[in-house]
Structure 1
Amino acid sequence: MKRGLFITVEGGEGAGKTTVLNKIEKYLDDQGIDIVRTREPGGIPIAEKIREIILNVNHTEMDSRTEALLYAAARRQHLVEKVLPALQSGKIVLCDRFIDSSLAYQGHARGLGFDEVQAINEFAIEGCFPDLTLYFDIDPYIGLERIEKDGQREINRLDKELLDFHLRVKEGYEKVNAMYGERVVKVNANQPLEAVFKDAMEALERHLYLKKVKE
């Protein structure tokens, strides 16, 4: 059986990743495509418990290295328990965040270093990088404003970071894009939702077409 396709969605806080991912999931499902939707940290019981620890708004004393290690631990368990089995069965996996988040948030914004964070995450994923990453590029000012206006959104510990932190996250993602440009497609997330969805689907369909041609 052919290996499935691993697609991740990345972006700063308030980029609209989850909302657009909902629309992508529905579109692919309507096409009869076999997909698995998941998220990080989380996706499985063990990783969801780690998520509760990482994102708890009361855990303000959490050390940055502890945070990075917890993300990597959740990622490892999620990968072996859910992502890899789905890929091995030929399914498309849609994942809200993956290794790029750790590089941007902990590696750059927290100042732990790209190489250091990349090392612990490469140990965790054993070479299983995404086939395609949709990076929703959002102006941090706009992203935080959206969060403030969205009364339905779950507010987590990272949302409460100061603006300077979110500006560094954006810088981190730009560095990730430069490193992994062969798989990362930047989508302008400052646009209205429908325009963001349209651009994301064009990138996804282009990738699906190329994969089909190669097969």
Structure 2
Amino acid sequence: MNKTCARCQKIVYPIEELKCLDKTWHKTCFKCTECGMALNMKTYKGFNKSPYCEAHIPKAKATVIADTPELKRIAENTKIQSNVKYHEDFEKSKGKFTQVADDPETLRIKQNTKIISNIAYHGDLEKKAAMEKQREAAEIADVRVNNAYPKRIGSIADIDPANGIYSSLAGESASHHQLHQQQSQQQHQQQHQQLLQQQQQRALQQQQQQQ
């Protein structure tokens, strides 16, 4: 028995038959119920067993339900239980460590941070050691200068206010002080150069290890 088209109610022959939405259609009759645009199996949208295009398919409307005392009570209890559950979970998770997967980028950043921290740590130690050596060297230099140029007591005859000379020891003290400053500067420069060379060598070794 030949079937009839769901739209035009005419006989549908097998060559022009299209089955969709539990109905039989002519291929040319399979159109949008609202605008009449031709549809196919890929473009149609079904609603109540009728074909529609994407733009005209009816939208389901939300059903409004009156708030009865029972529904209000259930909603309030649900809200209270949700708050209790939230605070309970919050208290349980508070202070806990959350494990995060280490991707290659995170691992690289951690490694670089560790290297920089080690450089800074060892650099501070070396600076501290260099300062201690410098202080000890300065103390030794003071002792040597004092031993090489022992102080002597001047006399009243050494003072000559007219010529701006108040002590015959003034010139000797100035030369001693200048000599001490030069020695300290030379020691400081040598220690600074050694520290820079050590840091450069360490940075070069770390770069080679990373490569």
Q: Shorter-chain-normalised TM-score: which range? A: under 0.3
Q: Which has the larger radius of gyration?
A: 2
Higher strand share: 1
Give the alignment's TM-score, normalised by structure 2: 0.21
Give the alignment's TM-score, normalised by structure 1: 0.20
> Does 1 or 2 have the higher relative contact order (CA < 8 Å, sep 6+)?
1
